[in-house]
Amino acid sequence: MCEAVRAIKRQMPPPEPNALADRLTRLIETAGPIPLAQFMAEANAHYYATRDPLGAEGDFITAPEISQMFGELVGLWLADLWSRAGKPSTAHYVELGPGRGTLAEDALRAMRAARFEPPIHLVETSGTLRKSQAGRLPTARWHDDIDSLPETGPLLVVANEFFDALPIRQIQRTEKGWFELMIGRKEGSFVPLVSGGPFDELIPEPLADAPIGSIVETSPAVESAALALAGRISAQGGAALVIDYGYQGPAVGDTLQAIADHGFADVFADPGECDLTAHVDFSVLARIGRAAGLRVYRPVAQGEWLEALGIGARTMALTKAAPERRDELVAARKRLTDRSEMGSIFKVMALVSTDWPDPAAF
Ligand code: SAH
């Protein structure tokens, strides 16, 4: 080997050891392939526990990190609903998967201006992100899941890019019926295998005859979170605002993606080192909400929703107060609302308690 090549080799860091990959490998070698949902749950728990993935330096950017206007308009939406519900003094602000706490900070500032200052409850499993949230929201209380939220008083719940991080199952049609995708090991790599099943009875009627190879996704984790949330809002009053990328099922399609460094990565290459995410089936949230007796407001495109709430006027007001920020504010509005950016792929849905008023902008 020539000296130059040796020098280059010496400078290259050795591949990082991945303790989670080692543990999953041992598990698969001893017990056989594991369900995709288990792989995704363990990978994301490790991923979010070990870093702050948001922002330019991280792996991806979310709407509240693009502009304060996003959280402010969410806050005004909540304050307006609360106000028309008779300003109940016992209402709580709840956020699922609050990231850095930016959305909550912006929303609560806008709500304070409308004289609505509810106690803050954050459902967050990552210790690292809880620390950033505590820096912005020192009076918040943290919860591991929805079950420990207060049992009295209306809940005003926000979930931006929360449901897409929850684990999914994938069921694929083969010649022999519908089988679950499991994760096994082959030649030193994680590989998807069509092995558990058959699960033909899980497939919604309109999809039963989908072509061989089609994938149907389900998420027990999304369903159980939605069930817990809808039950509480139905019993205690309030509403949930869900913002995410998604579709109206039932539908076939493989929406599982790995995101790292603002681009797509290999889903199976490095578990726990990239964000695993799937599109949210809004029809599941709607069905669970209706079954709990809530009113469901259609998923509307994020761009339309923000325009209806007055992001144009908000951009102008902020520009007037700080003319030097004009370009930044105009660009942020475009990024959040334009159809070619986040405006139409992201959808907004509301689930509202029957004795609460109609929400704005649906
Ligand atoms: N809502 C934020 C962050 C989105 S990233 C924003 O818009 O910027 C997903 C968030 O969900 C992170 O805070 C992550 O730690 C949290 N999260 C992921 N899985 C979770 C789970 N099972 N329970 C609670 N929080 C979870």
Going 330 to 333 to 336 to 338, the CA torsion angle's sign is: negative
* Mean pLDDT value across residues 124-129: 97
pLDDT at 3: 46
Domain annotation for the chain: domains and CATH numbers: 63-162+222-249+258-352 (3.40.50.12710)
**37 CA distance to ligand 1 middle (Å):** 17
pLDDT at 11: 59
Helix axes 36-49, 127-136, angle to 10 degrees: 50
pLDDT at 236: 98
Contacts of residue 263, Cβ cutoff 8 Å, sequence gap at least 6: none
DSSP code of residue 357: P
Q: To 10 degrees, the CA torsion angle through 199, 205, 207, 213? A: 20
Q: What is the rounded distance in angstroms from the CA atom of residue 51 to the CA atom of residue 333? A: 28
**184 CA distance to ligand 1 middle (Å):** 27
Coil, helix or strand at residue 40: helix
Q: Which helix (H) or strand (E) holds 280?
A: strand 280-281
Q: What is the rounded distance in angstroms from the CA atom of residue 239 to the CA atom of residue 229? A: 9
* Mean pLDDT value across residues 28-36: 97
Atom of ligand 1 nearest to the CA of 159: 1
pLDDT at 199: 93
**78 CA distance to ligand 1 middle (Å):** 20
Using CB distances shorter than 6 Å, the residues near ligand 1 are 44, 48, 54, 62, 64-65, 97-99, 103, 123-126, 129, 160-162, 165-166
Q: What is the rounded distance in angstroms from the CA atom of residue 235 to the CA atom of residue 147? A: 13
Question: Which residue's CA is the nearest one to ligand 1's atom 24?
Answer: 124
**97 CA distance to ligand 1 middle (Å):** 3
- What is the average pLDDT score of the chain? 95
The strand pairing partners of 184, in sequence order, are 191
**162 CA distance to ligand 1 middle (Å):** 5
pLDDT at 7: 47
pTM of the model: 0.95
Atom of ligand 1 nearest to the CA of 65: 8
